[in-house]
Structure 1
Amino acid sequence: MNIRLPWGFCRGGLKAVMNNLTQRTITGGILGLLITAAVCWNAYSFIFLMLVIDLLSLGEFYRLFHNAGLSPRKSSGLILSTSTLLTCFLVMSRICGPKILIINIPAAFGIFISELFRQGKNPFHNLAFTFLGILCITIPLCFFIGIAFFPAESGIYHSRIVVGYFFLLWASDSGAYFIGKAFGTHALFRRISPKKTWEGSLGGAVCALFVAYILSRYAAIPDATAWMIMALIIVVMGTFGDLIKSMMKRSLNLKDSGTILPGHGGMLDRFDTLLGSAPFVFCYLIL
């Protein structure tokens, strides 16, 4: 049976799609300019950017699970997260020696001690989700800081690598979004993310590889092969990062992790690809 939709409905639906696309484009453009400026200015603006991404994402993570009836220790988690990122930066930039990382041990153990005095229900559930946020968000960003200062013994900040990395992320995400919208028919992982398709993922991979080739002509660190492999790692592991975030939202019956970025959702929605891929790119560069 053929069903004809009223023209007003079609026009309204098209208008909503266009408004969302416009909103998404404006937000993405502003965010891209801010990130590029922070990365290119100097190492201190870069670590400030990492702290902003980390604290907003981690706060969003804790809020989501708090709303689900759990009680992750937000303040304690944010303090440990800040300490971890800053000490990682100080070591990678060679401002301080690795002994400064010891600060994080009492900071982490202090969260356990504080839980003793809170007398809350399910204390180990609270502890588990407090540290899970740090494991899923802060630790990947520490690996990303390592990429920015690769090789580790140099202590030199390479803004070109970081900018190139973000360009690969954006090419992969944008390619997957637009090609998936236009040609996507085969679901990649229907149970977790019905709208993500194989066509979109392959489109994102092609766009990322193309950008990797362009970067290899203008950013000699690392070489062309390394850029290509980095692009593939970002596409594959970033997709898994996206799916894991989708699994989290589905378990909480949520569409988006937040509303801080109009057209994109929350911080976790925007930076899940970075968090999923950074540890593996770092391992590749080291190996």
Structure 2
Amino acid sequence: MSVITNNLFRVGNFVKRTFFGAIFAVVLIAGITLHTIGFLIVFLAITLLGTFEFYQLVRKANCSPQIIPGMIAATILFVACYLNARFHQNILFLLFTLSVVSIPIIELYRKKETPFTNIAFTIMGLAYIALPFSLFSYMTYPFSDNRFHSEIVLGIFLMVWANDSGAYLVGVNFGKHRLFERISPKKSWEGSIGGAIVSLIVAYICSIFCFDLSLWEWLFMGAIVVVFGSLGDLIESLLKRSIQIKDSGNILPGHGGILDRFDAILLVSPVVFVFLQIIHEYFR
């Protein structure tokens, strides 16, 4: 009887995970591809949810980040990057600077036991969560032509998903040599190689359908996804292990939290941003 119950539980969990995963993918892809305002709404929401989730997590480390000032600064940063990428306006960056400067000033009046830890984690939320998502605005307007380029951001996510899926499937079936056992005991070198191969195949396919980047640029970006996506996954695992939790949240049933779903993106985004800036500056 227990065997039947366990099997039913696994099936139910798989159905739930698939259902919510499909909804998540549809909303994200729609936000990326349909319209620039849709991109603004979806990614701003993800930025705020991720920043809030991060602040809730670090509270478990016996500190008190400034949640409301941090969320306000994250909002300003995202909108400032969007307006700068699309319309080349810089005025909101001044307001963002003031919002960051206000964080240590506010801490003077909070009378908390760990003031500098609170300041550090509040600003860390902006650097680790809000900034990577904000930089996606520059990837949708990468060439200063005022045209919305959804293909690049969509390609990044497809390569990240391909890397994760390939690493999981190969690792489960063939993984023997641990990649970073101290932080993530289940990850293997075999899985990483499998993920890399699948990700580069997706990069090649992207080059066929998207002409914004050449084949070598897509493949190079695929390599960035493989290396920094894996590191981003390990860093988020390190965060969770340091506060002894399994999932960063439960906003996505069967999938964990926002940080669990976007851990690879948090490191991939800044590196891809730099890569695209170099291309624009020296090769276009």
TM-score (norm 2): 0.92
Q: Which moved more, 1:199-208 or 1:122-131?
A: 199-208
Whether 2:117 is the aligned partner of 1:117: answer: no
Amino acid at match of 1:51: L
The alignment status of 1:54 with 2:47, answered yes or no, reads yes
1:127 aligns with 2:157: no
Aligned residue in 2 for 1:144: 136
**Structure 2 counterpart of 1:117, one-letter code:** Y
Number of the residue aligned with 1:65: 58
- Provide the rounded CA distance (Å) in 2 between the counterparts of 1:38 and 1:221: 19
Q: Is residue 2:158 matched to residue 1:163?
A: no
The equivalent position to 1:98 in structure 2, one of 81, 90, 96, is 90
Counterpart of 1:238, as a letter, is G
- Identify the match of residue 273 of structure 1 among 261, 264, 270: 264
Say which SS state the counterpart of residue 194 (structure 1) adopts: strand
Partner SS, residue 53 of structure 1: helix
For residues 91 and 61 of structure 2, the distance between their equivalents in structure 1, rounded to whole angstroms, comes to 38
CA distance in 1, matches of 2:61, 2:270: 29
2:80 matched to which residue of 1? 87
Q: 1:235 corresponds to which residue?
A: 226
- TM-score normalised by the chain length of structure 1: 0.91
Cα distance in structure 1, aligned partners of 2:23 and 2:165: 15
Q: Distance in 1 between matches of 2:191 and 2:45?
A: 30
Structure 1's consecutive aligned runs of 4 or more residues displaced over 6 angstroms after TM superposition are none
Alignment of 1:188-267 (within 5 A): 188-267=179-258
Q: Deviations over 1:198-240 (max 9, x none)?
A: 1211111111111111111111111111111111101110100
CA distance in 2, matches of 1:189, 1:45: 38
Residue 166 (structure 2) pairs with residue 175 (structure 1):
yes
Instruction: Measure the CA separation in 2 of the matches of 1:49 and 1:260.
Output: 15
> Using the alignment, how far apart are the partners of 1:118 and 1:231 within structure 2?
45
Q: CA RMSD in A?
A: 1.7
Residue 265 to residue 163, structure 1, CA distance change in 2 (3 Å):
same
* Secondary structure, aligned partner of 2:185: strand
Percent of paired sites with the same residue: 40
